[in-house]
Structure 1
Amino acid sequence: MDWRAPVMDYCERQSSAFWAEPANALSNFAFVIAAASAFLLWRRRGGADYPALALIIVTASVGVGSFVFHTVATRGAKLLDVVPIAIFIYGYFLLALRRYFRLSIVWATAITLGFAAGSSFATTVDALNGSVGYLPALAALAIFAALLWTRRGQRATAHALAAAALLFAISLVFRTIDRAICPAVPLGAHVLWHMLNACVLWLLLRAAIFAGPRGDQASPIQNAKEPTAA
């Protein structure tokens, strides 16, 4: 595979020039803003939640990596776009199982690996302009929101995840129709995919931070019920 081969997947890009996708490139700063805002919230909450901090850093890297991809626009640069997104999806999935559902590390890891395997298979389906690979993440958000709605004290988290799922579904629509609307809208709709997804990640980070430890409190993950010796 030629990692230097140009990628011409979006309406806005009409050449292989570095600045051929200014809107798609600059809209990635929405992820950096989301990460910065989440970091300030993390600091106000005491700065003790290191799993959330890791996801904040990944969110910023999503913006940086996607900026590089939408400027350099090669197969190699595409890895800088998709890898941070995958890390956030699977990292948040694992954190949700531990933090929201109080699963043990063994069960949470096993379920996450199964989810990753299913998601990887979905990426091989060539449909919906490549959006099929994101449908497992959307389904997971919706299922988590529904399950948390039934748990006492988890309604706020359920609301946040449901709102994130709705925004994510809308953003997937814009990602899917990007090529189809090129003749009518030369700029395309991919820029809306970026901006809405930045809001999605912000909602998810906010939910995780508010459900996490504050100050010198012990982590809810550490407080998860584990089998004790007799």
Structure 2
Amino acid sequence: MELTAYIDGYCERIDPSFWAEPVNAITNAAFLIAAVFMWQRSKGVAMARALSVVLFAIGVGSFLFHTYAQTWAAIADVAPIAIYVLLYIFLATRDFWNQNAWVATAAIFAFFPYAYVAMPIFEALPIFHVSAGYGPVPLLILIYAIGLRNRAPETARGLAVGAGIILVSLTFRSIDMPLCEGLPLGTHFMWHILNGIALGWMIEVYRRHMLAEQPQPR
């Protein structure tokens, strides 16, 4: 693997220079703003703050990728996303379903064969095939939402909203190159903005659930 290999995968980028994707780069502020906002809101909910830290890292990693556009920066981009997804699966399984850490850990490992099976569904779709690697995530969130609709209806509704926002953001990610000729700026920047909102919202859903589970003072 050549860590300094140049990667040009987005409509906005026209050359290898640092600021060749100014809008894609700057809109990563959505992740940073959401992370700081949720850190402040999550006082007393330790794992919500941990998710906020990872969300901040997502913004930094994506900024590096949309400026340096090299293999090492792509790794810095996708690694925090993977950590966020796997950590959320652990927390959702443990805290939404009241399972122990062993079951929650097993859910993390189960995600990989699940994603392997679910990914072809998105690869078969005309537009979403370019974002097929992300498709299993909102689908899994919807599965959790459906499963929790009786056990924790407020949490289930929150998860469904989060999945909906992510699906819209995936649409913008997927149409970036197909619309490039008529829209030179591309649409990838909307993936950043909506994903910042969605991932921040997912932390809020977790925070609210955990606070609702705490014993109320008499």
Shorter-chain TM-score above 0.5: yes
1:52-86 Cα distance to aligned partner (Å, 9 max, x none): 11111000000011001100000111001000000
1:135 aligns with 2:135: yes
Higher alpha-carbon deviation: 112-121 or 130-139: 112-121
TM-score for both structures, normalised by structure 1: 0.85
- AA partner of residue 182 (structure 2): A
SS at structure 2 position matched to 1:79: helix
TM-score for both structures, normalised by structure 2: 0.90
Could you say if the C-alpha distance between residues 201 and 126 of structure 1 is closer, same or farther in structure 2, counting changes exceeding 3 Å? closer
Structure 1: state its 5+ residue gaps: 219-230
Q: What is aligned with 1:13?
A: 13
Count of aligned pairs between the two proteins: 210
Percent identity, aligned pairs only? 38
Shift of 1:31: 0.5
- TM-align CA RMSD: 2.1
- AA partner of residue 87 (structure 1): I
1:103 aligns with 2:99: yes
Match of 2:210 among 197, 200, 212: 212
Shift of 1:116: 3.0
SS at structure 2 position matched to 1:133: coil
Q: What is aligned with 1:180?
A: 178
Mapping for residues 81-160 of structure 1, pairs under 5 Å: 81-119=77-115, 127=123, 128=128, 130-151=130-151, 154-160=152-158
Cα distance in 2 for partners of 1:100, 1:113 equals: 18
Q: What is aligned with 1:228?
A: none
Cα distance in 2 for partners of 1:129, 1:70 equals: 21
Mapping for residues 215-226 of structure 1, pairs under 5 Å: none
Cα distance in 2 for partners of 1:191, 1:135 equals: 18
Mapping for residues 196-211 of structure 1, pairs under 5 Å: 196-211=194-209
Higher alpha-carbon deviation: 163-172 or 107-116: 107-116
Shift of 1:2: 1.3
Cα distance in 1 for partners of 2:158, 2:114 equals: 25
Contact 2:31–2:56 (CA under 8 A) maintained in structure 1: yes
Contact 1:123–1:130 (CA under 8 A) maintained in structure 2: no
Contact 1:8–1:73 (CA under 8 A) maintained in structure 2: yes
1:167 aligns with 2:165: yes
Cα distance in 2 for partners of 1:106, 1:203 equals: 27
Cα distance in 2 for partners of 1:120, 1:51 equals: 28
Could you say if the C-alpha distance between residues 73 and 120 of structure 1 is closer, same or farther in structure 2, counting changes exceeding 3 Å? farther
Shift of 1:118: 3.5
Contact 1:175–1:189 (CA under 8 A) maintained in structure 2: yes
- AA partner of residue 69 (structure 1): F
- AA partner of residue 13 (structure 1): R
1:22-56 Cα distance to aligned partner (Å, 9 max, x none): 0000000100110111111112xxx2x22211111
- AA partner of residue 150 (structure 1): N
